[in-house]
Amino acid sequence: MAQEQYPHGNNVQSSEGPHVYKVGIYGWRKRCLYFFVLLLMVLILLNLAMTIWILKVMNFTI
C-alpha cells in the first residue's frame, strides 16, 4: 500500500514544527467576561449588605 494511506505514517507535515494554537479568551469576550464577574461580585456584596441591614433593622438576634 502507498504511504499516503497510513494515517500515522511519517509525512511532510510531521517534519514541520508543531502548530501552536492560542488557548484563551481574547478581545470583546474577555471584556464581557470580566464585566460579568465584576457585576456578580457587586451583586453578592449588595445582597450581603442588605441582608445584614435587614437583620439589624428587624432586631434579629442569634
Contact 33, 41 (CB under 8 A): no
What pLDDT does residue 58 have?
94
Cell 456578580 -> residue:
40
**3-state class of 37 per DSSP?**
helix
Over residues 32-60, the pLDDT tens digits come to: 999 999 999 999 999 999 999 999 999 88
When comparing pLDDT for 61 and 37, which is higher?
37
Q: What is the DSSP letter of 16?
A: S
Over residues 2-19, the pLDDT tens digits come to: 555 555 555 555 556 788
Angle at 31 between CA 29 and CA 37, to 5 degrees: 100
* Predicted TM-score (pTM) above 0.75: no
Phi, psi of 28 (to 5 degrees): -65, -25
